[in-house]
Amino acid sequence: MKVLITGGAGFVGSHLSERLLDDGHEVAVLDNLSTGSIANVDRLKGRDGFTYVIDSVTNEALLAELIDRNDVVFHLAAAVGVKLIVEQPVHTIETNVHGTEVVLRTANKKKKLVVIASTSEVYGKSTAVPFREDADLTLGPSIKHRWAYACSKLIDEFLALAYWKERKLPVIVVRLFNTVGPRQTGQYGMVLPTFVRQALAGQPITVFGDGTQSRSFTYVGDVVEGLVRLLAEPRAVGEVFNIGNTGEVSIAELARKVKAMTGSSSEIQFIPYDQAYEAGFEDMPRRVPDITKIRNFVGYEPSLALDEIITRVIDHMRTS
């Protein structure tokens, strides 16, 4: 199969590219390197069936040509990272909404399957954990920029499902939950690589808020496994799936684990949200996926628990 991956030089995209090549597929990456990195695809450059173009998905002529040449599209190109989103709300909304619009419109001309990467952010402040795909979503007000990300991704979901309903464009929507693993950068605010980098450097480990907020971290290899399985499942078309790991950890506990597992002497420092992000910043207290649906459809089961994931991230950062 020939697979186009937008955002393929990003953290998840580069792992997906590698896995698809390993499985014998051809992979074309389109990435503008806004948050992706050429280093992520360096290791893939010499491989049979791998090509890449450094450009934006909004280059419509190029996108049309790439979609023509490929059988399916994974649309992973997006503005990511809460820090970036809070600092650049215009860029976030435009990138996420317009990029997806162009991808879906272009793919529709040839009815090529599009997998749209959405996010657990869309569940917002809901406290109805674990989150099911058909649950109500609870977002904050539009004056708080954090929610622009969730809203922009929700529009992507609505548009994808509308293309399926109205124009019979095959689409699959996936909501990814805090994906972590080797090669993820803390540069855009993501917590695990940030904590590991801080611990290894002997700098304070910065816990935002009181640290009681929790997340469920998923190993990138498990996310990729879920994506690959969904691609091969015709019943997945027109559906929305959580991809995650149900193990939950508070951010304060995560900081303690990273400190212990790195043997670091770093202090754990608590920083109020308004200093970490902006005044009035709202975080979500808990975020846990219900993975019953993807389990039932394709037998997805996360393989790596948190301690093993942290170990791999530490090993990777120590050696790179």
Alpha-carbon distance values, 159 to 13, 69, 173, 189, 227 (Å): 22, 24, 11, 28, 20
Question: Nearest distance from residue 154's CB to ligand UDP, in Å?
Answer: 15
Is 215 a binding residue for ligand UDP by CB under 6 A? The answer is: yes
**Judged by CB under 6 A, how many residues of this single chain contact ligand UDP?**
13
Is 207 a binding residue for ligand UDP by CB under 6 A? The answer is: yes
Is 194 a binding residue for ligand UDP by CB under 6 A? The answer is: yes
Is 36 a binding residue for ligand UDP by CB under 6 A? The answer is: no
Question: Nearest distance from residue 133's CB to ligand UDP, in Å?
Answer: 18
Is 190 a binding residue for ligand UDP by CB under 6 A? The answer is: yes
Question: Nearest distance from residue 11's CB to ligand UDP, in Å?
Answer: 12
Annotate each residue in 277-296 with x if it binds ligand UDP (CB under 6 A) or - if it does not, as one string.
------x-------------
Report d(CA 296, CA 319) in Å as an integer.
38
Question: Nearest distance from residue 312's CB to ligand UDP, in Å?
Answer: 17
Closest CA relative to residue 112, chosen from 223, 2, 30, 9: 2
Report d(CA 264, CA 271) in Å as an integer.
19
Report the phi/psi class of residue 264: left, alpha or beta, with left for phi > 0 and alpha for psi in -120 to 50.
beta
Residues in the chain: 320
The residue (of 122 and 251) whose beta carbon lies closer to ligand UDP is 251
Per the CB < 8 A criterion, the answer to whether 108 and 169 are in contact is: yes
Q: Which of 52, 123, 149, 300 is labelled catalytic?
A: 149
Is 178 a binding residue for ligand UDP by CB under 6 A? The answer is: yes
Is 82 a binding residue for ligand UDP by CB under 6 A? The answer is: yes
Is 189 a binding residue for ligand UDP by CB under 6 A? The answer is: yes
- Of the candidate spans 44-52, 183-191, 218-226, 298-306, the one that interacts with ligand UDP by CB under 6 A turns out to be 183-191
- Of the candidate spans 3-11, 26-34, 187-195, 259-267, the one that interacts with ligand UDP by CB under 6 A turns out to be 187-195
Question: Nearest distance from residue 281's CB to ligand UDP, in Å?
Answer: 8
Q: Which of 11, 123, 131, 208 binds ligand UDP (CB under 6 A)?
A: 208
Contacts of ligand UDP in 236-265 (CB under 6 A): 251
Question: Nearest distance from residue 55's CB to ligand UDP, in Å?
Answer: 27
**Can you tell me which residue has the tokens 């173009």?**
53
Report d(CA 73, CA 4) in Å as an integer.
5
- Of the candidate spans 15-23, 135-143, 204-212, 221-229, the one that interacts with ligand UDP by CB under 6 A turns out to be 204-212
Residue 149 bears catalytic tag: yes
Cβ neighbours of residue 22 closer than 8 Å, sequence gap 6 or more: none
Is 191 a binding residue for ligand UDP by CB under 6 A? The answer is: yes
The residue (of 51 and 206) whose beta carbon lies closer to ligand UDP is 206
Question: Which amino acid is present at 264?
Answer: S
Q: Looking at the annotation, which residues are catalytic?
A: 149
Residues near ligand UDP (CB under 6 A) are 82, 178, 189-191, 194, 206-208, 213, 215, 251, 283
